[in-house]
Each structure stands twice: as C-alpha cells, then as structure tokens.
Amino acid sequence: MLKSDDNILKVLFFGDLVGRPGRNVIKDFLEKNKQNYDFIIANVENASHGFGLTEKNYNELSEYGLNCMTSGNHIWDKKEIFNYIDNADKLIRPFNYPENTQGSGSRVFEIQNGIKIGVINVLGRVFMAPIESQWTLVRDEIKRLKEITPIVILDFHAEATAEKICFARFCSELGLSAFFGTHTHVQTADEQIVNNMGYITDAGFCGTKDSVIGMDYKTSLNRFTTVIPERYDVADGNVVQTNAVEVEINPISGHTVAIKRVFLLSDKVKEADNEK
C-alpha cells in the first residue's frame, strides 16, 4: 500500500545537503517523518565537508532512509568516489558527463506493488564548466524510461534560472513527472505544476541557517573581498534549516497532482560524528 489513502505516490526531495549539519538535519527529519513518504531523494554532492561524498557518509545516508541520492559537479571532489560509485546502487551522477564516465546518470527504482520510479540527474551548462548538451540526451533518456514506468523524476543541477525554467518546460512536454532544480542552495517560492509536472526552480539546502549557502561567512567574505583562493568551510551554528519539496504523483498516469515546499528551522541536532 502507498502512504496516501487515495493511492497517490508521495515523494520527498531534499535540497543540497551541506556537510555534517545537512546530514544531521535529514537524519532527524526522517526519524520523525520517514513513514509518511513512499520514496525519498536528496542531493548529496556537498554532503561530506561541503564537497563530495565519502563512502562512509553514503552508507550512513542510506541507513537514514534515503532511497535515491542525486548529485552534481562536486560529486568528484572526494577521490574515493571512484572506488565505490559503480557499486553505489542509490547514487546517481549527472547524466551528461561523457559516455565512459564512472557511475550511472539515471536509475530505475522499484518500490512496493511493483511500482517503478525513474530518476535522472543532469548538469546545466550556463555559467557552469563545459559539459555535453543536455537537450537531446535527456529527451532520449526520458523516452527510454517512460517505456519502463510512467513516473520519471529529474534533478537539474544548474546555475541559471532561465535555463532551469526553459529546460523544465521542455521536459514537461516529454512527460516528466517532477523537476527539481538544485545547485544555488536558495529555495525559490515558485513551486507549481506545469503540464502535469511538479516544478521548483531550486529546492534550497539543508544545513546551518547562519551561513552563506551552508558555508562559513568569514571564509566566504575573504574570498569575495580579497579574490584570493581560500577553501570554503562548512558553517557551524545553533540553528539549522531543512529545505525540501513534497510531490504527490498518480502512479498510473505519472502526473503530479500536488506540490508543496518544506522549510523548517530547528535547533542544532546532536552531532553524529567528528566530520564536517
């Protein structure tokens, strides 16, 4: 049985997890709310000290209840990723990297009652490092996944708002079920349903509220005022935020029938380990 009384699939998508505060935020949230959702996704490219994802943190996040982890350009920052990504069956790297890149850019997940969910992760190109154009690649991949399941979800990790909006409408015309923007870490107030597809420009981030998109203010200030390279550090503070998006999807048609932003502030949760 699905979680909803009216047989609707309930999906939760967490915006970018930033460091240990972000990991602890979703651990606390899922301990209290995991039972309310049929499928849970989070963007994890900043989950380990703000850059990349260690295998240890991948395993921890799996234990917390994540069914799928999407990522972005920072997924390669922890070099151990190359040792485990091919065996990490919940993790997706951006689809539009070159063909022989390790890992998978899309996956099909099967949940209860034989329901299948396709998930794609894609990088934008505007104000981002050069990468293969997503338009034709994703069109063909959505078509392929729609032959397997009517439910297809996409995380578009991109900088430019216009690119997100345009690409989202393009995907909606191909039958995509839900489109979540990530990367800019600021939750937008434009959640809506476009051509039966749930949409938000950016899901936001999970981590320390008193920060610069999850990072320490002082190191951010130094970078902007001196223009001298300095390693960002994950912010620490007493208040953390949870940014997520809930969508309700008809499992037969694959259409989103409801969408809602989640924005919660809470006291800092107990630290799980000594890593940032």
Backbone angles phi, psi at 83, to 5 degrees: -85, -20
Distance CA 87, CA 185 (A): 28
Neighbours of 87 (CB within 10 A): 9
Residue 142, both tokens: 């959505």
Q: Which of 86, 54, 52 is nearest to 72 (CA)?
A: 52
Residue 243, both tokens: 């940014």
Q: Furthest-apart CA pair in the chain: how many Å? A: 57
Residue 89, both tokens: 């069956």
Question: Which H helix or E strand runs over 153?
Answer: strand 152-157
| Torsion angle in degrees (nearest 10) through CA of 32, 33, 34, 35 | 110
Whether residue 272 contacts residue 20, with contact meaning beta carbons closer than 8 Å, is answered with yes
Q: Phi-psi category of 108—alpha, beta or left, where left has phi over 0 and alpha has psi -120 to 50?
A: beta
Catalytic positions: 74
Residue 52, both tokens: 């990349």
Distance CA 71, CA 91 (A): 8
State which amino acid sits at residue 137: L
Residue 237, both tokens: 């503070």
